[in-house]
Amino acid sequence: MTWVQMIIYGIIVSSALSLLTYWVTKKFVLRKMNRTIMKAEHNYQQQIASLQMQLSGKVNVLEGMVNKLRLSNQELTRLNEIRSKFMSIVAHDLRQPLSSIQGFASVLMMDNPQNVGNNDQMALNNILKATDNMNMLMADLMDISMIESGRFKMDGQPFNFNALVEDVVTLQTVNAQKKGISLQKYDYPISVTIIADRFRVSQVLSNLIGNAIKFAPQGGRVEVSFYADDKNVTCRVSDNGPGILHTEKERIFQKFHQSDNDRNLKKQGWGLGLSIAQEIVYAHGGDIGVESAGLGQGATFWFSLPREAVPTVEVEKTDQKVATA
């Protein structure tokens, strides 16, 4: 066999081996790989189907929870509307009998002016005090009801802020004297005119001064001052009372919140005044807050109003600080 024949023979053998290798690979290896791939794909599809079923179940659960939450919100809205209507009805309907009780008690006291210290006079005096407190509660409930129903309106007109502070302090002086408290007003040297609802602003200041007198100790002091710039007027009411915890500052303007510092004082109010004051100030586009170094350090309540507030404002039912014209 010549070397040429050997080369040809080698080529033939190599070709035969290559074909055999290809055939074996295709016959066995590739078929096995295909089976493996098909099995993996089947397992993957089963996993996807299982996950889809689990996801579908969770979606159904979530949809059920969303429906329950929607129904709960609807029920809460309905109950809140009922509560607001109830507060309005109670506040309105109770005013008439309270006025009658107050009127009859006043007439009875006038019919027997002598012997002021007797038991009958003392009882009549207590009735008058109780009806005064109830009338104040009715007024607060009416304000809260109007705020929550979006009917709380401000009537902005120009007025002298110095005169308003003087009038409110004069009215509160009687309450301060009953408790032996020094009510000090610091006059501002310049006449300040602002555009706002005078009655509502006086309501804010009366509430802050009244609270300061209530919480100041017997024989304590309450100081009232204000200052102004070109855009705003800021009023401050300070007392040397029990002070306010830092954690309480965030809640003190919430409806029905009452301080736990003095349980006896807690019984004297309903926790509505500061919430209403905040709504009034916010309706004018102003701000309100409190400062206190802690328990036993007294407190300073302040509010700031723009000197040219929106002339007529209607307070919408909202939890945010928003004034709408």
If one counts every other C-beta atom within 10 angstroms of the C-beta of residue 24, the result is 11
pLDDT for 321: 42
- Report d(CA 79, CA 73) in Å as an integer: 10
Q: What is the 3-state secondary structure (H, E, C) of 125-166?
A: HHHHHHHHHHHHHHHHHHHHHHHHHCCEEEECEEEEHHHHHH
pLDDT classification of 184: cutoffs 50, 70, 90: very high
For 144-171, what is the mean pLDDT? 84
Sequence-distant (6+) residues with CB within 8 A of 221 are 181, 182, 183, 184, 239, 240
Closest C-alpha to 149, from 315, 322, 325:
315
Closest C-alpha to 106, from 133, 126, 124, 132:
124
Please tell me whether residue 233 adopts helix, strand or coil conformation. strand
Q: CA torsion 118→119→120→125, rounded to 10°? A: 90
| Amino acid of residue 74 | Q
For 80-109, what is the mean pLDDT? 70
For 123-150, what is the mean pLDDT? 71
Please tell me whether residue 230 adopts helix, strand or coil conformation. coil
Closest C-alpha to 202, from 153, 174, 162, 253:
162
- Report d(CA 303, CA 196) in Å as an integer: 14
pTM: 0.61
Q: 247-282 burial string, b = 16+ CB within 10 Å, else e?
A: ebeeebbebeebbebeeeeeeebebbbbbbbbbbbb
- The mean of the pLDDT values for the chain is 79
Per-residue pLDDT tens over the stretch 222-267: 999 999 998 999 999 999 888 888 877 778 888 766 665 554 444 4
For 188-201, what is the mean pLDDT? 91
pLDDT for 281: 92
- Report d(CA 150, CA 214) in Å as an integer: 31
Q: Where are the domains of the chain?
A: 1-149, 153-315
**How far out from the chain centre does Cα 52 lie?**
43
CATH value of 153-315 in 3.20.20.70, 3.30.9.10, 3.40.50.10860, 3.30.565.10: 3.30.565.10
The percentage of residues in the chain with a pLDDT greater than 90, rounded to a whole number, is 22
Pairing of β 182-185 and β 221-228: parallel
If one counts every other C-beta atom within 10 angstroms of the C-beta of residue 64, the result is 10
pLDDT for 232: 93
Cα-only R_g, the chain: 40
- Assess whether pLDDT exceeds 90 at residue 34: no
pLDDT for 264: 47
- Report d(CA 169, CA 161) in Å as an integer: 12
- Report d(CA 136, CA 130) in Å as an integer: 10
